[in-house]
Structure 1
């Protein structure tokens, strides 16, 4: 397994290098000139624009600029953008065009909110979805099974952003059940206010995603329940609950882990609709705001962070295969 993990890590680093090159080329040699962010249109003379190009290092060869851009990931440095010098601690992700602060410090302040959304929402949709899937599989063909499948299809047919918006309008604005939605630090504001602010976003994320997990878990459980070792255990008189938890679920959960790893990485990169509707200042909202303001360092940092999380999630999922299912061997 060790050799497999090392090879996957090397491949993941290569993927991130390719992504970083693409991001660098897109945002620093694309249609938008970064220097214009520091040069007002009404006062942007050619001499001033050239001076900004020089201060930002845009007049240097492209390989030198890329190496300088990537050096921030291994050391601290001082960045001068538009005549403003900012100390950028390791890992330095650049300086925001809009806020003139370190991108790393700006994004790190939003990480706790994103982690809260991701862990809470993922826990609910995984437990709820797999649990409902098991119930439907055990009652295959019955009225309850058909009702579960119909309800999950109904939820899936509704766009997630519409579900988030309707829940906010109804439960927050009309009924007032969750008046203080948003992220509150459990260490500063207390755990009660933290849970009260995040409960509705967690529930809506869980319900929106649990329907898909329920159908996927149901299909996987039905397939596993027909295997020879499950029928043998049942013939030996093993209890149904023990068969489900110790034999069937362990094999059926393997394909679920694949989609869960990617979905969880997606939550960590920021849930834009949830953060926007419920006023949660997370990474998704930071990336959306940066894209709207053409804040190139902020956008490029968000893209690289998202790529890194997805690569790591894929590696972790592959390793978990061998832990969950002993039949899987990583070579």
Structure 2
């Protein structure tokens, strides 16, 4: 297992380096000089030359890439001050360290991910298990039909509808707003309740269908039928044998959803006017803030690679056959 994790981690690091190189060189593929973006509209030749020097843009591209990667691990010095590791550069927009901005935005994204994950995992897996256990009954048909309808919704449609009904029309709920849970737990919960419920409405449908189909497939496996033939209780067989075997596709889906949400749920944050990583990525594109965009892209890629390694390791924990392979 340790050798497997080391091999997968090494591969993930290599992929991350390739992503960083691709992103960095795309940085220079844009038609506009990056220094002009930092300098602004009324930029004199002297000011442009100073910015080139301060940002290191007067050096060869390969040297700039080396300095950028070195700064991530060891820090760098800029005209606005020292950038401690991990250093992703200085924002063109507000002259702040990119890593400091990401750290400020990340707690909101983490809260959005954690709360939404708990809600839609609980709802989706419970509905999927019930539908599989009651296969062919009216309960199964209800859960399957509702999940089919729910999966057709999109956040950019359902979000404004929920806001219009429960916030602006009835006033039953307050407008989504992030308050750190260390300051006020109740306001933190109520401020993110609507985004969690909207995300749960959409994500729950996927987990209901995956859990149901995976569980039904597992119930047809030989080892499950053998356990039933030995006289084991239906509930014990359901949870001990079938449920564990059905977790692999669910674990894959969970890992990808966590990585995507931690990397920034852009649409969710834009719909509910929340300033997280996703909105930061969108703003950096609009403002052509290339250092911030690069930092967000690398962080998002790192989350995806880390979750892939963790999911692969989880496979061996769930299914001994994977461990033996």
- TM-score band by shorter chain is over 0.9
> Which of 133, 137, 147 matches 2:132?
137
Verify: 1:104 aligned to 2:91, yes or no. no
* Distance in 1 separating the partners of 2:149 and 2:248: 26
> Which of 277, 286, 291 matches 1:292?
286
Residue 71 of structure 2 aligns with which residue?
Answer: 72
Task: Report if aligned partners of 1:111, 1:282 keep a CA contact under 8 Å in 2.
Answer: yes
Shift of 1:267: 0.7
Verify: 1:118 aligned to 2:117, yes or no. no
Shift of 1:128: 1.2
Task: Give the unaligned 5+ runs of structure 2.
Answer: none
Task: Report if aligned partners of 2:54, 2:78 keep a CA contact under 8 Å in 1.
Answer: no
* Distance in 2 separating the partners of 1:325 and 1:124: 26
* Distance in 2 separating the partners of 1:100 and 1:199: 34
Structure 1 range deviating more: 194-203 or 16-25:
194-203
Task: Give the unaligned 5+ runs of structure 1.
Answer: none
Task: Report if aligned partners of 1:181, 1:200 keep a CA contact under 8 Å in 2.
Answer: yes
* Distance in 2 separating the partners of 1:109 and 1:31: 31
> Which of 126, 141, 145 matches 1:146?
141
* Distance in 2 separating the partners of 1:155 and 1:127: 16
Structure 1 range deviating more: 112-121 or 163-172:
163-172
Count of aligned residue pairs for this structure pair: 325
Task: Report if aligned partners of 1:164, 1:273 keep a CA contact under 8 Å in 2.
Answer: no
* Distance in 1 separating the partners of 2:324 and 2:21: 31
> Which of 81, 84, 99 matches 1:86?
81
* Distance in 2 separating the partners of 1:175 and 1:240: 47
Shift of 1:300: 0.4
CA 1:330–1:109: 2 relative to 1, 3 Å: farther
Q: How much is the aligned-residue C-alpha RMSD, in angstroms? A: 1.6
Residue 36 of structure 2 aligns with which residue?
Answer: 36
Task: Report if aligned partners of 1:287, 1:302 keep a CA contact under 8 Å in 2.
Answer: yes
Residue 27 of structure 2 aligns with which residue?
Answer: 27
> 1:283-302: CA deviations, max 9, x gaps?
11111111110000000000
* Distance in 2 separating the partners of 1:182 and 1:330: 48
Residue 59 of structure 1 aligns with which residue?
Answer: 58
CA 1:134–1:63: 2 relative to 1, 3 Å: same
Verify: 1:237 aligned to 2:236, yes or no. no
Task: Report if aligned partners of 2:155, 2:268 keep a CA contact under 8 Å in 1.
Answer: no
> Which of 294, 302, 307 matches 2:296?
302
Shift of 1:99: 1.1
* Distance in 2 separating the partners of 1:266 and 1:163: 20
Residue 305 of structure 2 aligns with which residue?
Answer: 311
Shift of 1:86: 2.7
* Distance in 2 separating the partners of 1:56 and 1:236: 72
> 1:248-267: CA deviations, max 9, x gaps?
11001111101110111101
